[in-house]
Structure 1
Amino acid sequence: MLVEDSLVVRQLLAHIVSRDPRLALAAAVASGEEALREIHRVQPDVISMDIRLPGIDGLETTRRIMAERPTPIVVVADAIEDSSLKISMNALRAGALSVVEKPVGTGHRAYEAIADQICTQLRIMSQVPVIRRRPIGAERLAPPRDEARGPGVPAPTTQVPVTQVPSVLAVAASTGGPPAFAKLLGALPADFPLPVLLVQHMGAAFMEGFADWLNGVVPLSVGIAREGVRPLPGHVYVAPGDRHLTLTPGGLVALLDDAPVGGQRPSATLLFRSIARVAGPRGFGVLLTGMGEDGAAGLLDMHLAGAATIAEHESSAVVYGMPAAAVRLRAAGSVLPLDLIAPRILRALQLGLSA
């Protein structure tokens, strides 16, 4: 179902969807009120959601859908508008799974790339089971207990004991990453003793808004990484759009314009490999939900260097692609559901300090 108030954009989205044989248009509506009325009748597998709607906006519409009839939602937003960016990131907090750029005219040079991205996200998200869930940010109130596993979730795999105190945490995700990062980092204390380097696959135009949003929902200080900065404990350094984030031998942030790795820039594999070279056994790597295989080879380098490594378990991953690739390579010292990753990180720090 398409939710878009602009007739021109709605027709363009319908045209884009019609080109993909794996997608069928269930409905196209011009307001949040119409979407809430139609959703029970057409029962769509996935929703393309505009944010700037008349009456009930896309954020409130997302909230109501997730409360009344949880359905995968892909936000289609104007990347250049600051207010739209903030609302889009709050829609992720309300339960939307992904954000993509609003399509441009068919004559624009970026049209095919944006159209392909929209269809890809709609196809992937249509397969994601969603449930009613508490708002992101509640992790601060009650940190998850490591023992509290949900039904059907296997016991965590055994990890090699930490013998050295970790000095840097590297985390990466793709599809489904923003809510996962909010949950993971939201469960870490404000005085977390490590710097955090973060790679999220997302359109370059959204990265500043993503970092600002994440900064508002987790205790740590979050910002876009800058060239030559020495990472500080308790700070999260987000890879900027379309540049690789790495750590130099001197321990400084380096941003690279090198070619994409596995189709990705920034690349999780390049980040993890730089941590393996610089920190060795004092690195800590976490690979979360995402489509594809980026990060798996780099996490293996960290694992072989003696670093602690974690891949998200299939039971909590929105898309079990990147962590699954790490598991196949035996790159993950632990494979854990999302709720258990922060407690494992904190326990590893305590064990390292007492070793």
Structure 2
Amino acid sequence: MIVEDSLVVRRLLAHIVSRDPRLTLAAAVGSAEEALQELPRIRPDVISMDIRLPGMDGLEATRRIMAEQPTPIVVIADSVEDSSLRISMNALRAGALSVVEKPVGMETGGHERVSEMICTQLYIMSQVPVIRRRMSAARLSRPTPAPARPEPVAPQAPAMLGIAASTGGPPALAQVLGALSPQFPLPVLLVQHMGAAFMEGFASWLDGVVPLRVGIAQDGEVPRPGQVYVAPGNRHLLLAPKGVLRVTADPPVASQRPAATLLFRSMAGALGPRGLGVLLTGMGEDGALGLAEMRQAGAFTITEHESTAVVYGMPAAAVRLGGSGLSLPLPLIGPHLQQLALRATP
């Protein structure tokens, strides 16, 4: 189902979808109210959601859909409008699975790339089971029993935290980092799979919802405690042996750039047992091999437990490869990281 108020864009999206053999157009509507009315009848596998809609906007529509009839939602947003970016990021927090760039016309440069991205995201997200729906904030705030026995401290005092996520990542990252104190004593290196056009907006949004300072990583920067360094769009983020950040345009790894595996691998080499690695929700296996290398180097590693992961692919791969030192539900990861950072024995 396409939800888009502009008739021109709605027809363009319908054309894009109709050309892809993986997809069938179930409906194309011009408002959130119409989408909510048609949803029980149409029962689409995935929804393409505009953000700036007349009446109810895409953020509120996402909240309503996830509460009433959970359905995978892909946000189609303007990548350059600050207000649209903020709404898009909040829609991800409300339950949308990903955000992609809105097409602007057949004659515009990059149209085929944007069209392919939209169709691929719609197809992939149509496979994500969201029947469990996202937990409410109130439910997430209640203590959740750990499915595995926690290890109380890291073997050595950690020097840096690396954290990565893909599908479902923005709200998961907001929750984990939001549980850390403003005086968190470690630098944080972060990889989130997202379209390059949205990375600055994502970093700005995250900066506004967590206690730590968040910004896009710069090549040659020396990471400082209590700051989050986000991998730039379409660039790898690495930690060099001398402790400075490297931002590179090296080839993608398993179709990913930035790649979590490269970040974790560089941390394993630069920090050894003083690394701290976390792998959250995401489709595929990126990060799993790198996390295993961190653990082999003596670092403490955590994966998100299946009970809270929107997509358990990346954490599951890390568990399978022996990269998970501890598997925790999302609400417990942030507090445990705080404990590790403050109480780890030298």
TM-score, normalising length: structure 1: 0.89
CA shift digits 1:275-320 (9 cap, x unpaired): 1111110000111111222111211211111000112222222222
The residue that corresponds to 2:79 in the other structure is 79
Kindly indicate whether the alpha-carbon contact (under 8 Å) linking 2:196 and 2:232 is maintained by their aligned counterparts in 1.
Answer: yes
The residue that corresponds to 2:236 in the other structure is 244
Q: Which of these residues, 188, 197, 205, is aligned with residue 189 of structure 2?
A: 197
CA shift digits 1:88-141 (9 cap, x unpaired): 1121222222111112434555333322322232233233315264359x97xx
Superposed displacement of residue 86, structure 1: 1.5
Kindly indicate whether the alpha-carbon contact (under 8 Å) linking 1:158 and 1:333 is maintained by their aligned counterparts in 2.
Answer: no
Q: Which of these residues, 272, 278, 288, is aligned with residue 280 of structure 1?
A: 272
Distance 2:257 2:46 in 1: 27
Kindly indicate whether the alpha-carbon contact (under 8 Å) linking 1:82 and 1:209 is maintained by their aligned counterparts in 2.
Answer: yes
Kindly indicate whether the alpha-carbon contact (under 8 Å) linking 2:301 and 2:324 is maintained by their aligned counterparts in 1.
Answer: yes
For residue 340 of structure 2, give the secondary structure of its aligned residue in structure 1: helix
Q: Which of these residues, 298, 314, 334, is aligned with residue 342 of structure 1?
A: 334
For residue 306 of structure 2, give the secondary structure of its aligned residue in structure 1: coil
Distance 1:213 1:20 in 2: 33
For residue 213 of structure 1, give the secondary structure of its aligned residue in structure 2: helix
Superposed displacement of residue 160, structure 1: 9.3
For residue 87 of structure 1, give the secondary structure of its aligned residue in structure 2: helix
Kindly indicate whether the alpha-carbon contact (under 8 Å) linking 1:156 and 1:335 is maintained by their aligned counterparts in 2.
Answer: yes
The residue that corresponds to 2:169 in the other structure is 177
Kindly report which structure 2 residues correspond to 1:289-328, keeping only aligned pairs within 5 A, or say none: 289-328=281-320
For residue 15 of structure 1, give the secondary structure of its aligned residue in structure 2: helix
Kindly indicate whether the alpha-carbon contact (under 8 Å) linking 2:155 and 2:300 is maintained by their aligned counterparts in 1.
Answer: no
Kindly indicate whether the alpha-carbon contact (under 8 Å) linking 1:59 and 1:91 is maintained by their aligned counterparts in 2.
Answer: yes
The residue that corresponds to 1:9 in the other structure is 9
For residue 349 of structure 1, give the secondary structure of its aligned residue in structure 2: helix
Bigger Cα displacement from structure 2, 117-126 vs 200-209: 117-126
Superposed displacement of residue 4, structure 1: 0.5
The residue that corresponds to 2:62 in the other structure is 62
Distance 1:279 1:243 in 2: 22
Bigger Cα displacement from structure 2, 84-93 vs 125-134: 125-134
Distance 1:66 1:108 in 2: 34
CA shift digits 1:190-222 (9 cap, x unpaired): 211111100011111100110111111111111
Superposed displacement of residue 159, structure 1: 5.0
Distance 2:113 2:284 in 1: 18
Superposed displacement of residue 351, structure 1: 4.4
Q: Percent identity?
A: 65
Residue correspondences, number: 344
Superposed displacement of residue 56, structure 1: 2.0
Superposed displacement of residue 232, structure 1: 1.5
Superposed displacement of residue 21, structure 1: 3.8
Superposed displacement of residue 340, structure 1: 2.2
For residue 48 of structure 1, give the secondary structure of its aligned residue in structure 2: strand
2:129 aligned with 1:128, yes or no?
yes
Say if 1:235 and 1:66 are closer, same or farther in 2 by CA, change over 3 A.
Answer: same
Superposed displacement of residue 64, structure 1: 2.7
Kindly indicate whether the alpha-carbon contact (under 8 Å) linking 2:3 and 2:50 is maintained by their aligned counterparts in 1.
Answer: yes
The residue that corresponds to 1:105 in the other structure is 105
Kindly indicate whether the alpha-carbon contact (under 8 Å) linking 2:184 and 2:341 is maintained by their aligned counterparts in 1.
Answer: no
Bigger Cα displacement from structure 2, 68-77 vs 235-244: 68-77
Distance 1:261 1:75 in 2: 26
CA shift digits 1:20-79 (9 cap, x unpaired): 444332211011221122223322232110012122221222233233333221100111
Distance 2:137 2:233 in 1: 27
Superposed displacement of residue 350, structure 1: 4.5
Which runs of no fewer than 5 residues in structure 2 stay unpaired? Answer: none
Say if 1:220 and 1:161 are closer, same or farther in 2 by CA, change over 3 A.
Answer: closer
Distance 1:314 1:133 in 2: 13
For residue 255 of structure 1, give the secondary structure of its aligned residue in structure 2: strand
Superposed displacement of residue 223, structure 1: 1.1
2:159 aligned with 1:167, yes or no?
yes
Q: Which of these residues, 199, 223, 229, is aligned with residue 221 of structure 2?
A: 229
